Amino acid sequence: MGWFELNQVIKATNVDWRSLGRWCSVVVWISPTHKVRIVVAYSVGKSKPEGLLTVYQQTLTYIREHDLDTNPCRLFKVDFRAALRV
C-alpha cells in the first residue's frame, strides 16, 4: 500500500499538546464501523541524563519556563493519561 492509499484511510492525527514530541497518534478507518488508533509514545523515565539535548533536559527546561511544580517523568504520566482519556 502506497502513501496515497494510506492517506485515504487516515482520518485523524494527534500530537503532544505541549509540543515536546512525547507522543503522537493516528486514527485509521478500516471500514465505516471499524477504526484503529495507533499511538507511539516516549517517556523520559526516572533517570536524569546529562546534556542539553536530551529529552529529559528539554522537558525540564519546559517545566521551568512554565513554572510547573512537577518533574519530567510525572509530567509525562499526567499528560499522557489525559490524552488517552480524550
pLDDT in tens, the chain (86 residues): 554 455 567 767 778 889 898 998 888 877 778 888 889 999 887 777 677 678 888 899 999 999 999 999 999 999 999 988 88
For residue 40 the three cell numbers come to 507511539
Residues 61 and 68: their CA atoms lie apart, in Å, by 10
pTM above 0.85, yes or no: no
Query: What is the residue extent of each domain of the chain?
Result: 3-85
